[in-house]
């Protein structure tokens, strides 16, 4: 912080040359996709080329619809030859957020998640912002670039998604970015992305969740067992937050030999990121924002003492980590239990 958007943009441009081939790495979701689109537009005609690459499998209907409707070209990291690129940028993530990021040395990091201390030639990490798209919108405005309809729509949808229509963590800069983008976006296109059809094969997870959920003092806990993608956990965690009187939604599943735990809350005097970190950081990666967080735990860290194939056992373990029982104080000498003498 401490620098104007124009100064940050100047420092960002300074690390590139006209001969550079740039790879933008993302863990694809609406904010990451839109932010990568913005980086590509900012570097247009300033570098030799920009390629966007995702480390995750894109299976959520809204993500797939966003790529299709906005015409975003994207290549999975498994199909990337890193030697073809001279500069590497990561947006809406930091290197320790995904194992596949560790293969790259990043020249620029732009993100709104809590700072993990990554070193790079250029860093712009603002945890107080509701979306990375808001930061990139400031860059576009400083560069005096009028975003295309598709770029503006993508950035607007990203801000709307990551702030849950400003119900989650939001600052005035997010609102200003949204207002600017609204003038250049297409609301019909935004609606088509929002209304992307739910995949039929996901319905079985909803049935599973409704049959096996546990509600405790306003907190819904669901463990799905094996899932085809962690996005299923995200969809269900968001879905349960729409149910009265749910104040917390904790949905987990097993994917790629990891236990994925998605945490959501209503944002009222709560901190999901702190809960995730306190409960699970000792067993894997965990963190997030006040109203949304995520943990990814390798199964081998706890499979020796937990039956990972028993959904009720796993759910009970997650509850015990999030709601640890206070240790009972020992009785003083001469004290007796009630009814004893």
pLDDT score recorded for residue 61 = 84
pLDDT band at 140, cuts 50/70/90?
Answer: very high
Complete domains list, the chain, with CATH: 5-194 (3.90.1640.10), 203-322 (3.10.310.30)
Q: Which of 65-74, 166-175, 182-191, 324-333 has the lowest mean pLDDT?
A: 324-333
Euclidean distance between CA atoms 209 and 227, whole angstroms: 12
Token digits for 255?
């994917």
Dihedral sign for Cα atoms in the order 328, 248, 160, 69: positive
The three-point CA angle 28-137-262 to 5° equals 35
Give the mean model confidence (pLDDT) for residues 171-190: 95
0.75 exceeded by pTM: no
pLDDT score recorded for residue 55 = 95
Asked if the model's pLDDT at residue 20 lies above 60, the reply is: yes
Higher pLDDT, 99 or 337: 99
Q: Which of 80-84, 167-171, 219-223, 275-279 has the lowest mean pLDDT?
A: 167-171
pLDDT digits (tens, 9 = 90+) for 272-288: 999 999 999 999 999 88
Asked if the model's pLDDT at residue 198 lies above 80, the reply is: no
pLDDT score recorded for residue 305 = 85
pLDDT score recorded for residue 334 = 42
Higher pLDDT, 107 or 303: 107
Least Cα distance to 226 among 250, 258, 249 occurs for 258
Euclidean distance between CA atoms 140 and 151, whole angstroms: 11
pLDDT score recorded for residue 304 = 84
pLDDT score recorded for residue 143 = 97
């Amino acid at each position: 912080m401490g620098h104007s958007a124009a100064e940050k943009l100047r420092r960002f441009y300074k690390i590139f040359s006209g001969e550079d081939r740039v790879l933008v790495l993302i863990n694809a979701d609406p904010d990451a996709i839109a932010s990568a689109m913005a980086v590509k537009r900012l570097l247009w005609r300033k570098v030799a080329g920009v390629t966007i690459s995702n480390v995750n499998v894109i299976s959520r209907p809204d993500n797939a619809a966003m790529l299709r409707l906005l015409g975003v070209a994207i290549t999975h990291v498994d199909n990337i030859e890193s030697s073809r690129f001279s500069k590497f940028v990561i947006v809406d993530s930091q290197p320790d957020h995904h194992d596949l990021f560790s293969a790259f040395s990043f020249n620029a990091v732009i993100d709104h998640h809590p700072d993990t201390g990554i070193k790079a030639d250029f860093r712009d990490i603002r945890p107080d912002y509701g979306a990375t798209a808001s930061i990139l919108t400031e860059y576009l405005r400083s560069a005096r670039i009028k975003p295309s309809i598709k770029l503006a729509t993508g950035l607007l949808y990203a801000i709307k998604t990551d702030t849950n229509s400003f119900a989650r963590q939001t600052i005035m800069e997010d609102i200003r970015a949204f207002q600017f983008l609204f003038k250049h976006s297409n609301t019909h296109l935004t609606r088509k992305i929002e209304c992307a059809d739910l995949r039929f094969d996901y319905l079985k997870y909803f049935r599973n969740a409704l049959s096996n959920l546990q509600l405790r003092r306003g907190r819904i806990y669901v463990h799905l067992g094996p899932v085809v993608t962690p996005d299923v956990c995200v969809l269900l965690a968001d879905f349960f937050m729409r149910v009265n009187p749910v104040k917390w939604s904790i949905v987990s599943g097993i994917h790629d030999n990891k236990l994925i735990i998605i945490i959501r809350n209503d944002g009222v005097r709560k901190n999901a990121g702190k809960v995730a970190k306190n409960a699970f950081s000792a067993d894997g990666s965990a963190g997030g924002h006040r109203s949304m967080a995520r943990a990814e735990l390798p199964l081998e860290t706890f499979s020796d003492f937990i039956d990972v194939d028993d959904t009720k056992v796993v759910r009970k373990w997650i509850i015990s980590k999030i709601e640890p029982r206070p240790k009972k104080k020992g009785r003083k000498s001469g004290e007796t239990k009630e009814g004893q003498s």
